[in-house]
Amino acid sequence: MYQFWNDSAFEVKIRDYRRDFHKYAEVKWTEFRTASIVAQRLDNLGIRTLLGEEMSVKGFQFAYPDDESRDAEIARAIRQGGDPETIEKMDGLPGAVGIIEGGKPGPVIAFRFDMDALLTTESDTLDHYPRKEGFRSVNEGYCHACGHDGHTAMGLGLAEVLMANRENLCGTVKLIFQPSEEGGGGARGIVARGILDDVKYFFAVHVGLTKLDGLPLGQHGLICGVKDLLDSRRYDFRFRGKAAHSAGDPHVGKNALLASCHASMAIHSIPPHSEGVMRLNVGVQQAGVVRNAVPADGYIQVDMRAENDVVGEYAERRVQQVVAGAAAMYENELETTLIGKTCAAASDDEAITLVRRASESVDWFTEIHDVGSAGGTDDAAEMIRRVQRNGGMASYAGLGCDFAAGFHNEAFDFDESVMIPSIRLLNRVVELAGEHARENEQ
Amino acid sequence: MYQFWNDSAFEVKIRDYRRDFHKYAEVKWTEFRTASIVAQRLDNLGIRTLLGEEMSVKGFQFAYPDDESRDAEIARAIRQGGDPETIEKMDGLPGAVGIIEGGKPGPVIAFRFDMDALLTTESDTLDHYPRKEGFRSVNEGYCHACGHDGHTAMGLGLAEVLMANRENLCGTVKLIFQPSEEGGGGARGIVARGILDDVKYFFAVHVGLTKLDGLPLGQHGLICGVKDLLDSRRYDFRFRGKAAHSAGDPHVGKNALLASCHASMAIHSIPPHSEGVMRLNVGVQQAGVVRNAVPADGYIQVDMRAENDVVGEYAERRVQQVVAGAAAMYENELETTLIGKTCAAASDDEAITLVRRASESVDWFTEIHDVGSAGGTDDAAEMIRRVQRNGGMASYAGLGCDFAAGFHNEAFDFDESVMIPSIRLLNRVVELAGEHARENEQ
Amino acid sequence: MYQFWNDSAFEVKIRDYRRDFHKYAEVKWTEFRTASIVAQRLDNLGIRTLLGEEMSVKGFQFAYPDDESRDAEIARAIRQGGDPETIEKMDGLPGAVGIIEGGKPGPVIAFRFDMDALLTTESDTLDHYPRKEGFRSVNEGYCHACGHDGHTAMGLGLAEVLMANRENLCGTVKLIFQPSEEGGGGARGIVARGILDDVKYFFAVHVGLTKLDGLPLGQHGLICGVKDLLDSRRYDFRFRGKAAHSAGDPHVGKNALLASCHASMAIHSIPPHSEGVMRLNVGVQQAGVVRNAVPADGYIQVDMRAENDVVGEYAERRVQQVVAGAAAMYENELETTLIGKTCAAASDDEAITLVRRASESVDWFTEIHDVGSAGGTDDAAEMIRRVQRNGGMASYAGLGCDFAAGFHNEAFDFDESVMIPSIRLLNRVVELAGEHARENEQ
Amino acid sequence: MYQFWNDSAFEVKIRDYRRDFHKYAEVKWTEFRTASIVAQRLDNLGIRTLLGEEMSVKGFQFAYPDDESRDAEIARAIRQGGDPETIEKMDGLPGAVGIIEGGKPGPVIAFRFDMDALLTTESDTLDHYPRKEGFRSVNEGYCHACGHDGHTAMGLGLAEVLMANRENLCGTVKLIFQPSEEGGGGARGIVARGILDDVKYFFAVHVGLTKLDGLPLGQHGLICGVKDLLDSRRYDFRFRGKAAHSAGDPHVGKNALLASCHASMAIHSIPPHSEGVMRLNVGVQQAGVVRNAVPADGYIQVDMRAENDVVGEYAERRVQQVVAGAAAMYENELETTLIGKTCAAASDDEAITLVRRASESVDWFTEIHDVGSAGGTDDAAEMIRRVQRNGGMASYAGLGCDFAAGFHNEAFDFDESVMIPSIRLLNRVVELAGEHARENEQ
């Protein structure tokens, strides 16, 4: 097999992919340019690629834009080099799933690569590396501050490596280029379409994760699998009371400001659950428009995280009761909006072991931890749970590397040198998964 | 007519009545001894007297004792000199209404005298006048700290004066010796029985009232009528949640302490009403029994005062909504108990004028104000409203005199020298009411 | 004396003044065009006019704009016909005080006319009279929705009437064209300059006031004086906490959202004061910027109204304590901003009688009430108090007339036919004030 | 060595000890009878015993009774068979430490046995075993509902077994009979006296613990060591406001009820800490005494549990800030009372291994878990921490057995057959600790 690892042209190519995606950052449900470039590249490699409703199902998205906004984003994507015909095929659902049939029998192995940027204005200081090197986001207000540009580039790299050795590849590899991981629920439609239904081995990776865990890693770390992808539920609540002049007719009003205060305070007083960690937050509260009127409108944004379904459901149920009670206290109407939802998930021990064993052949990774903490949520969890339910195994692995600022920070940037070793690691995971399947068949 | 006013024996008799009632103080729904002495005295004067269900109706009482307590009080009353036969006739409803038919035609005029003491332990200091003079309450924990002992004595005095001149009396006088003014709703049953239905002129008096009003009165003041007897509604609310170990299983609990906190805070945030003064108070809150359990019980006592029915109903409606919402927030069951209720009332201008004119013949009263503030509530209001609804007129008058400590204080005592002038005033009111009726008939 | 009352040319002139001011509406501290036109008109009439620091003092303004905004408004005022030279003299303090020395000795009598519009976008419906007649505000977002355009026009009318009869005028009349009544504290600087110091009779008027009072008036009403201009204090409070990831590091945060909730709830729980009406309101609350962070900023707008100084000071003191305590609970820094303040005031009985007597010669006013309720606040109160403190008398009168929508509503418009009768009333007030002064000197 | 394990007389003796302690249950700081019997028994066995200030230090106790109560309890203890002379030596500090010097050199090994009962009225139903067998508590309101009677009996059993084999005993064994584990902080004085300073191996046991852990154990379980004895801090807060008539003078009051509500709600809103579990609870709240007065007093009981010191100190600091802020909001004085405090602690892996190895020779224990959860707090933690700080090791072990009702329940009773196997286990622990010390010296 051709050795990509020592090929600086390959390295430059992957790096350039990443920088291109970074420069033309696209946020959730607008990754049409990114996805069309991915799809074209897979096509060029001779990989069968699913698009649009072949790979996802409508109706499972959160925070999907209105028609006008989406069409404007499609127009922008095309102006920035997206292929109109490919985008047309997506039918409003950005994303792509490449399917590589190996030359030999074996299991179905899937990888998830997410593609979306964030609603953040990228740093414009002189020392910000993307600016220095000329790939700062040209889409103002959109920024790859979570490394998904790198994930996408690695996915393309892995595709090329696997295709170069296709005849020896045991089984089938699905490369899932997922849209809208950041609050869009992009994984849900893909799961609903059944893409994961025949998958026996599933892996998702995230750059930089080890830092979050507070581990004393240098830049070359690896967490073979995290066990605490949190259940996440996000709701907005709107209280509709009645305005009145606060001095003239105070008794006529129905105070939505006080209703929202009671709700916020009571949400924070919901007791912890003995079966797992829970984190509740009212992140935003807004009520009233003028000093001398009883406020007729109140609004709160609520974030719930939980270690597992039981705790997540408890949190959701209690928050809703509390908010309904607060609205009733002040005779307010209540409007509840589900903003997003992601399940909890945990890597399997066997999958973790596979990743650890794969790391043995990649000398770049020097600090290796079997288990670490993500401290967060990722809708790869939806895929993990589907695979596990079908008897498959999964791991969500963290790729340690240096970075310039914390996730979601405007100055975020990661060390690109993590990409080639990571592709190498994933390629090796494919080999070991094939072996593992053979061993377990016997 | 015999001149009682200069008869020191009459003055001593009235004083002794008052001291006797003071010494054997009886609280709401237990005034059996007091009422039986009143009834016997009226009988001795030859006055027809209504007792028990002749004068009241069962089912309209607040805070009526259980059978065992009531029977114990009856036994005590008899031990302390109450007449068993008379008490028997009361059939559990202490009180008496004497009816004096005058020798000449005229209107029905009614006076209310209340008889109950308070649940207060009377002062036992050496300088407390009732102790010095030997008439401190022998019923420990019961104390005439609101002057009703004096009201009752004056009622008996007025009865004697009126009977002495009965042949010249124009019309009918009803002397209503009401039980249970202090939170018992004693007026309600009497109103329900119809005692006020034919009354054209109604008067109630209260000693010491002028002090409350902040008027710079000496001891000899008179307020001919107050206009602000407040609407009063008293409720208890009990929150029933669920206990749980607060460290082990916090999520299992349903926190009644927090529910009651939200309720208390929200009750105090109910906005004022533009149509009149409102006063809300959570006077007592109790929740929980042990430090490390989620509190399963919460309890609050709520007091609502309002200038009129509209505001009173608003307060009651909003308090109930707030409390129900708070219970819902924490999944608590709610138990609501009506403790008592008194309507608002105001004296009539014409009745006020009658009292002022009556005062002209009583030189004792030197500081006379037509209108003053009661700053409180009195269930004479129920009687006032009934009389007014039937086209009659009413006044609630304040009899100024020096006193030793504020109302309801354990050291309360009033200057007994107010009693004879007050009887004289009321006697004159009867004459003027008769004249007024004649003038208005023509 | 020339009879303005039957001169339709005069009526048209006053109406046109009003429509001109309406069309070029200017909000608080930007009334440069209005004031320059007033000043020029007074000058044309031969009236000595004080401008800028002659009539006011810097440092007493609330919500004064920054230099840039102010200069832009001055430029706009000049573009719209304001006289640059006159505006220059104002030195940043819009307003004008005309002083008419009468031909005969007599007291100093002052009238206040306010000139500012509101931050409201005027109605643009076809049936909105100012639009139909072509005088809808051309300054988008600024709207004379409180009738001050009419007040200013009436002031100019009164100036003309008084000057026509100057030789018979007893005493001196000061016509105070005040800026920035709507929350700007425009009266304060004028009081500080001493304009009111020699005034014996002071009057302010407001169109449409009777409607507020709920009186069953037709359109031709008059309230000779209100007694309840409320004490008003307006504060903004900003809570500065500390952000933190609400799931990752919740304990690191200092929650400004919860601090502001506690503050809002506790402000609404401040008990009423027995010495007068109080109205507290938190009209606006805003906290937090993102769902999953502990909110680092909280902000509330508080409005306090009170019947008198004692209650006003109580409200202010208690609100500040409550807010400080809430900040301390959550380790927040607190930033307090005084937005504005107006004292309470009441018309004098003698001044009210003067207005009533003046009304007798104006047949237009058919429903006359001595005393009514403003139900609000007006910084004429500052002037009233100064005059009263010096032994003078004052009245704040309401000029009843039909209007199209409530005060501060975008569709507000008043019946212009009230203006001539009102000028006639004020002219008569001047005569009666002169007579009153003479009578009281003797 | 004599085989106690098959000696039914020994078994009966231990059982009778336990039943005697159970029958004469004594609560914290009153265990004078229990301690005197223990001391006499140790003395009879020839064991040197420390009493009073030899074993503890005054000033470290929580909830110590006043002199009168304590003296009454001492009198009761003597009436019930406590030895007056021994009790005299205790000098108000119940408890005893027996010191057994072995015949051979070796380490200092200590065991803690707690002796106090609870303020609970023991079940009196016919099926309650202690009642059936005639050892129900004769001290009404005091009840051994946590098994400390058994612990004490096992301590005496272990003393006898060790003394029987003293010549072969390697090192020194300290048998610490600790008073006042239930909220009295009994361990603190013993630690302060230095009793633990030379200890290398420390063990505490608790019957029934395995049930708490939710483990599917039969009755014969063993948890070799728990790792989560929680940090516990208990405070009472009293708010002192000012009473006022809530309708007459509401503004005069300083509302302690609302202050305590804000405190309770804010305590429950203190965010979790990312470094460990925290449990906060306001278990009791009481405020106000009468419906129509502004409540002048408020009172809350707060319980704080934490996984470690960092979280415990965070909780304590934040609770105090919150409470102080709430008091300031309502101008209340604040009174803070520390009720008790226990540190967190965790068993050492090596000590856990020792207990596991010891269990191998006791066939009674069939379900053995290395680590389990106590789900609570025990002031043995203070001893564990002192031993660990000096380089020693410790384990807090759970002795599984069937029981009749949950800890602290009035019907609690445990299966006495756990006692002999437990003594056997502890005896073996002593042997293995000796061996361990020898191995580690080499």
Summarize pLDDT for A165-192 with one digit per residue, the tens.
999 999 999 999 999 999 999 999 999 9
**Distance from C-alpha of D327 to C-alpha of A250, rounded to nearest angstrom:** 28
How far, rounded to the nearest angstrom, does the alpha carbon of residue B347 sit from its chain's CA centroid?
16
Mean pLDDT along residues D81-108: 97
CB contact under 8 Å between A329 and B325, yes or no, is yes
> What pLDDT score was predicted for residue A197?
97
Mean residue pLDDT of chain D comes to 94
Burial label, B366 (beta-carbon count in 10 A; 0-12, 13-18, 19+): middle
The answer to whether residues B244 and B310 touch, using CB atoms and an 8 Å cutoff, is no
> What pLDDT score was predicted for residue B375?
66
Of B231, B323, B317, B229, residue with least CA distance to B279: B231
Choose, out of B212, B213, B262, B268, the residue to mutate when testing the contact with C (most C CBs < 10 Å).
B268
**Distance from C-alpha of C332 to C-alpha of A441, rounded to nearest angstrom:** 62
pLDDT, tens digit, 9 for 90 and up, residues D244-285: 889 888 999 999 999 999 999 999 999 999 899 999 999 999
Residue D217 has pLDDT above 70, yes or no: no
**Distance from C-alpha of D410 to C-alpha of D312, rounded to nearest angstrom:** 31
Sign of CA dihedral A133, A139, A145, A151: negative
Residue D418 has pLDDT above 50, yes or no: yes
CB contact under 8 Å between C246 and A281, yes or no, is yes
Cα separations in angstroms, C330 against A34, B258, C169, C264 = 45, 19, 65, 14
> What pLDDT score was predicted for residue C210?
54
Q: Work out the pLDDT band at A263, boundaries 50, 70, 90.
A: very high
The answer to whether residues A303 and A281 touch, using CB atoms and an 8 Å cutoff, is yes
Q: Work out the pLDDT band at D442, boundaries 50, 70, 90.
A: low
Element (H, E) at C78: helix C67-79
Sign of CA dihedral D228, D231, D232, D238: negative
Mean residue pLDDT of chain C comes to 94
What is the Cβ-side half-sphere exposure of residue C273, based on CA atoms within 13 angstroms? 21
The contact set of D with C (CB < 8 A) is 246, 248-251, 253, 255, 258, 262, 265-266, 269, 271-275, 294, 314, 321-322, 324-331
In chain D, residues with a C-beta closer than 8 Å to the C-beta of A268 are 268-269, 271
CB contact under 8 Å between B271 and C269, yes or no, is no
The answer to whether residues D271 and C251 touch, using CB atoms and an 8 Å cutoff, is yes
In chain A, residues with a C-beta closer than 8 Å to the C-beta of C262 are 265
> What pLDDT score was predicted for residue D210?
53
Q: Work out the pLDDT band at A217, boundaries 50, 70, 90.
A: very low
Q: Where are the beta strands (DSSP E) in A278-417?
A: 278-287, 297-306, 333-342, 367-372, 393-399
Mean pLDDT along residues D180-191: 95
In chain A, residues with a C-beta closer than 8 Å to the C-beta of D269 are 265, 268-269
Using CB atoms, pick whichever of B246, B265, B303 lies closest to residue D292: B303
In chain B, residues with a C-beta closer than 8 Å to the C-beta of A257 are none
Residue D353 has pLDDT above 50, yes or no: yes
CB contact under 8 Å between C246 and A301, yes or no, is no
Using CB atoms, pick whichever of C279, C286, C292 lies closest to residue A303: C292
Of B122, B126, B137, B160, residue with least CA distance to B14: B160
Beta bridge partners, D114, equal D178
- List all chains that touch chain D, counting a touch as 3 or more CB pairs closer than 8 Å: A, B, C
DSSP state of C396: E
Using CB atoms, pick whichever of A265, A269, A279 lies closest to residue D272: A279
**Distance from C-alpha of C285 to C-alpha of A282, rounded to nearest angstrom:** 14
Of B88, B111, B81, residue with least CA distance to B98: B111
CB contact under 8 Å between D248 and C328, yes or no, is no
For residue A307, the chain C residue with the least C-alpha distance is: C247
Residue D67 has pLDDT above 90, yes or no: yes
- List all chains that touch chain A, counting a touch as 3 or more CB pairs closer than 8 Å: B, C, D
The answer to whether residues D51 and D195 touch, using CB atoms and an 8 Å cutoff, is no
Low-confidence ranges of chain B (pLDDT < 70): 1, 210-219, 374-375, 442
CB contact under 8 Å between C284 and A291, yes or no, is yes
**Distance from C-alpha of B294 to C-alpha of D268, rounded to nearest angstrom:** 11
Residue D109 has pLDDT above 90, yes or no: yes
> What pLDDT score was predicted for residue D212?
46
Choose, out of D245, D246, D251, the residue to mutate when testing the contact with C (most C CBs < 10 Å).
D251
Residue identified by tokens 């007033």 is: C38
**Distance from C-alpha of B26 to C-alpha of B45, rounded to nearest angstrom:** 24
DSSP state of C293: B
The answer to whether residues C270 and C282 touch, using CB atoms and an 8 Å cutoff, is no
Of D268, C287, C28, A262, residue with least CA distance to B250: D268
Residue A83 has pLDDT above 80, yes or no: yes
Q: Spell out the alpha helix ranges (H) of A147-253.
A: 148-164, 186-193, 209-212
SS3 B437: helix
Mean residue pLDDT of chain A comes to 94
Q: Spell out the alpha helix ranges (H) of A117-270.
A: 129-132, 148-164, 186-193, 209-212, 256-268
> Within 10 A of C78 (CB to CB), how many other CB atoms are there?
16
Mean pLDDT along residues D138-145: 96
Of C112, C208, C182, residue with least CA distance to C413: C208
The contact set of B with D (CB < 8 A) is 212, 230, 234, 246-248, 250, 255, 257-258, 260-262, 264-265, 268, 279-295, 301-303, 305, 339, 375-376
Using CB atoms, pick whichever of D234, D291, D305 lies closest to residue B303: D291
Cα separations in angstroms, B67 against B30, B32, B34, B72, B117 = 12, 14, 20, 9, 20
In degrees, to the nearest 5, what angle opens at C-alpha D262 toward C-alphas D261 and D268? 95
For residue A251, the chain B residue with the least C-alpha distance is: B273
As a whole number of Å, the end-to-end CA separation of chain B is 28
CB contact under 8 Å between B268 and C272, yes or no, is no
**Distance from C-alpha of B220 to C-alpha of A202, rounded to nearest angstrom:** 96
pLDDT, tens digit, 9 for 90 and up, residues C126-140: 999 999 999 999 999
CB contact under 8 Å between B283 and D292, yes or no, is yes
Rg over CA atoms, chain C = 23
Q: Where are the beta strands (DSSP E) in C198-277?
A: 201-207, 221-226, 231-240
CB contact under 8 Å between C314 and D251, yes or no, is yes
**Distance from C-alpha of C304 to C-alpha of C316, rounded to nearest angstrom:** 7
Regarding pTM above 0.95, the answer is no
- 3-state SS, D163-230, equals HHCHHHCEEEEEEEEECCCCCCCHHHHHHHHCCCCCCCEEEEEEECHHHHCCCCCCCCEEEEEECCEC
Using CB atoms, pick whichever of D255, D314, D325 lies closest to residue C251: D314
| Sequence letter at residue B312 | G
State the helix-helix crossing angle for C309-329 and C256-268, rounded to 10 degrees: 150
DSSP state of C405: S
How far, rounded to the nearest angstrom, does the alpha carbon of residue A121 sit from its chain's CA centroid?
19
Residue identified by tokens 């869009």 is: A184
Would you state the structure tokens that stand for residue B310, as one six-digit string? 């509209």
> What pLDDT score was predicted for residue A37?
98
A127's CB contacts (< 8 A; 6+ apart) are none
For residue B277, the chain C residue with the least C-alpha distance is: C277
In degrees, to the nearest 5, what angle opens at C-alpha A144 toward C-alphas A220 and A277? 70
Residue C415 has pLDDT above 60, yes or no: yes
**Distance from C-alpha of A9 to C-alpha of A37, rounded to nearest angstrom:** 19
Residue identified by tokens 């129920």 is: B382
The answer to whether residues B387 and B350 touch, using CB atoms and an 8 Å cutoff, is no
SS3 B191: helix
**Distance from C-alpha of D8 to C-alpha of D20, rounded to nearest angstrom:** 18
Mean pLDDT along residues D164-188: 96
Which has the minimum average pLDDT: A362-376, B244-258, C413-427, D193-207? A362-376
Let me know how long chain A is: 442
> What pLDDT score was predicted for residue B406?
80
In chain D, residues with a C-beta closer than 8 Å to the C-beta of C250 are 271-274
Residue D211 has pLDDT above 60, yes or no: no
Q: Work out the pLDDT band at D52, boundaries 50, 70, 90.
A: very high
Would you state the structure tokens that stand for residue D341, as one six-digit string? 């405090």
CB contact under 8 Å between D284 and B285, yes or no, is no
Residue C373 has pLDDT above 80, yes or no: no
How far, rounded to the nearest angstrom, does the alpha carbon of residue C196 sit from its chain's CA centroid?
16
Would you state the structure tokens that stand for residue C286, as one six-digit string? 């805003």
**Distance from C-alpha of D30 to C-alpha of D42, rounded to nearest angstrom:** 20
In degrees, to the nearest 5, what angle opens at C-alpha B324 toward C-alphas B320 and B325? 120
Distance from CA of B291 to the nearest CA of C (A): 22
Mean pLDDT along residues A50-72: 96
Residue C212 has pLDDT above 50, yes or no: no
Mean pLDDT along residues D402-431: 92
The contact set of D with B (CB < 8 A) is 230, 234, 246-248, 250, 255, 257-258, 260-262, 264-265, 268, 279-295, 301-303, 305, 339, 375-376
In chain C, residues with a C-beta closer than 8 Å to the C-beta of A251 are none
| Percentage of the residues of chain D whose pLDDT score is greater than 70 | 97
Residue D2 has pLDDT above 60, yes or no: yes
Of B140, B178, B184, B182, residue with least CA distance to B25: B140
For residue B245, the chain A residue with the least C-alpha distance is: A274
Distance from CA of B18 to the nearest CA of A (A): 46
How far, rounded to the nearest angstrom, does the alpha carbon of residue A429 sit from its chain's CA centroid?
21
Q: Spell out the alpha helix ranges (H) of C274-308.
A: none
Mean pLDDT along residues A400-406: 83
Q: Spell out the alpha helix ranges (H) of D45-185.
A: 67-79, 84-90, 129-132, 148-164
Mean pLDDT along residues D363-386: 88
For residue B243, the chain D residue with the least C-alpha distance is: D283
**Distance from C-alpha of A90 to C-alpha of A96, rounded to nearest angstrom:** 8
The answer to whether residues D109 and D98 touch, using CB atoms and an 8 Å cutoff, is no
- List all chains that touch chain C, counting a touch as 3 or more CB pairs closer than 8 Å: A, B, D
Sign of CA dihedral B422, B423, B426, B432: negative
